[in-house]
């Protein structure tokens, strides 16, 4: 999850990742190879460095887990994955805030507290899925414009969306 989180935002080598994540290079390299074999990462360039070839990767699209697959993940693993994702999201937002990333007119910080029935929850899930598809398409069009020299400067933007049962509901209906 941490590797995918970093590589969704930028290109990096296993060596870069190991240093950033404070993890052994061998472990990171193993996980990068596994993610690449699963089609979640793509090799974007090779660079000769100190007599060795360093490989640089980026996430291949947005990693998604189906509802069915998610339901089969043990609860302790789910909580750990959610914890890592939340930690990455909070770290990114705090860093952006410290650097003035929320100062511009195009920045947004919104929180919604909703009371929904089961159909409303499904509708909200579907709306988020459409938003994620729209964001991927927007990014693809931006890449095309930049490749054609029409897009202006590239800006690294961050968006976090979450839908969860509120603390007071504890999943009760």
**Tokens 């990068």, residue?**
32
Domain spans in the chain, listed from the N-terminal domain onward:
1-85, 108-165
For residues 131-147, average pLDDT: 88
List Cβ<8 Å contacts ≥24 apart for 152-160: 156/9, 156/10, 158/9, 158/92, 158/93, 158/96, 158/101, 159/135, 160/89, 160/92, 160/93
Q: Is domain 1-85 in CATH 1.10.10.10, yes or no?
A: yes
- Please check the confidence at residue 173 and state whether its pLDDT lies above 60: no
pLDDT tens digits for range 9-41: 889 999 999 998 899 999 999 989 888 887 788
Euclidean distance between CA atoms 73 and 83, whole angstroms: 14
pLDDT tens digits for range 95-137: 999 999 999 898 999 988 999 999 999 999 999 989 988 998 9
Euclidean distance between CA atoms 98 and 168, whole angstroms: 31
């Amino acid at each position: 999850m941490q590797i995918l989180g970093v590589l969704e935002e930028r290109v990096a080598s296993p060596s870069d990742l190991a240093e950033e994540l404070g993890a052994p290079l061998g472990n990171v390299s193993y996980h990068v190879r596994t993610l690449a074999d699963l089609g979640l990462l793509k090799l974007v360039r090779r660079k000769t460095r100190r007599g060795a070839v360093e490989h640089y990767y980026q996430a291949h699209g947005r990693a998604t887990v189906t509802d069915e697959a998610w339901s089969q993940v043990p609860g302790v693993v789910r909580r750990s994955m959610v914890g890592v994702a939340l930690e990455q999201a909070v770290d990114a937002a705090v860093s952006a805030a410290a650097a003035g990333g929320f100062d511009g007119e195009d920045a947004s910080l919104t929180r919604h507290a909703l009371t929904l029935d089961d159909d409303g929850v499904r509708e909200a899930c579907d709306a988020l899925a459409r938003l994620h598809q729209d964001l991927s398409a927007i990014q693809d069009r931006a890449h095309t414009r930049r490749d054609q020299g029409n897009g202006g400067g590239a800006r690294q933007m961050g968006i976090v969306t979450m839908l969860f049962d509120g603390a007071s509901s504890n999943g009760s209906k």
